[in-house]
Amino acid sequence: MAGHPSHLWRAEAGSRLALRIVCATANRHKLAEIRAILQDLPIMLLSLEDFSPFPVPEETGGSYAENALIKARAVYARTGTPTLADDTGLEVKALAGRPGIHSQRYAADDNVRRSQLLQELDGVPPEGRKARFICAVAYVDFHGEQLFQAEVAGRIAEHCTGQEGFGYDPLFFLPHEGKTYAEMSALEKNALSHRGKALASFRQWLFSRELLVSDRTA
């Protein structure tokens, strides 16, 4: 693996080395989910708390990809460590695609966001509640930038169901599964979710570029 700065790797369990990647998010739920999805890889996924406090720029882009890149570029420039960032949005057809890239800023917190979405869709029948989750993942390192995007189609349930997950998960119903994200185990959700699919593409890219190693000698 010549050409890869040694500070990007740290020994784990004897000769096993992990590629150090910082996840550019302050959302603990999202960080935990990304760690779970990538847990089998030789990666040490760091959080922003592993570095001295610094401001992460606002998501001012016009697309999920732009917002993910804004965060990844800023954190990589500050830390010098390969950086992974994502931007995710829920698009509801009956609301002309809202809340979309403003999903996180739709309301003050998760409970209020869910309540507000249900209010906006009050009286809309199941067939009119089509929605999709979109996730863009950006990865920035000394080689350059990469983008991965995925989406999952479903609909907005008439009420919150399930205790798992976070955000809009209790409202995002997948007809082919017969339940919401929040009714699934973490393993189930991560296998078919928008973020899981985007990170699966990221995983494939890492292996294709031979950026992962299991052993390294001095």
Is 50 exceeded by the pLDDT of residue 216? Answer: no
> In sequence order, which residues have a C-beta less than 8 Å from that of residue 56 and are 6 or more positions away?
24, 26, 48, 71, 74, 75
Q: What is the pLDDT of residue 107?
A: 87
Facing residues of 69 across strands? none
pLDDT for 57: 85
Q: List the one residue out of 211, 26, 61, 209 whose CA is nearest residue 136.
A: 61
Name the strand (E) or helix (H) holding 145.
strand 144-156
Distance CA 16, CA 19 (A): 10
Cα distances (Å, whole numbers) of residue 162 to 3, 73, 82, 84, 171: 47, 36, 35, 29, 9
Nearest Cα residue to 132 out of 105, 159, 170, 97: 97
Residue 142 falls within a domain, yes or no? yes
Bond preceding residue 125 cis, omega within 30 of 0: no
Q: Is residue 214 part of a domain?
A: no
- Interhelix angle 194-208/28-37, nearest 10 degrees: 50
The CA-CA-CA angle for residues 75, 151, 126, to 5°, reads: 130
Q: How many other CB atoms are there within 10 angstroms of residue 2's CB atom? A: 3
Domain that residue 107 falls in: 6-208
Task: Give the residue from 173, 161, 160, 166 showing the smallest Cα distance to 130.
Answer: 173
Catalytic (active-site) positions: 87
| Any domain includes 175 | yes
Least confident stretch, 3-7, 55-59, 76-80, 194-198:
3-7
Q: Looking at residue 92, what is its pLDDT?
A: 97
CATH code: domain of residue 45: 3.90.950.10
In a domain, 133, yes or no: yes
Q: For 86-108, give the DSSP string.
A: EEEEEEEGGGTT-EETTTTTSSS
The answer to the question of residue 82 being in a domain is: yes
Q: Is 53 helix (H, G, I), strand (E, B) or coil?
A: coil
| pLDDT band, very low/low/confident/very high, at 111 (cuts 50, 70, 90) | very high
Number of domains observed in the structure of the chain: 1
For residues 2-16, give the mean pLDDT.
47
pLDDT in tens, 119-160: 999 999 999 999 999 999 999 999 999 999 999 999 999 999
Q: Report the distance separating Cα 8 and Cα 20, nearest Å.
A: 5
Is position 218 within any domain?
Answer: no
Could you tell me if residue 183 is inside a domain? yes
| Residue 216 falls inside a structural domain | no
Q: What's the pLDDT at 17?
A: 61
Percent of the chain with pLDDT strictly greater than 70? 88
Work out the percent of the chain whose per-residue pLDDT is above 90: 73
Q: Where residue 213 falls among pLDDT bands split at 50, 70, 90?
A: low
pLDDT of residue 7: 54
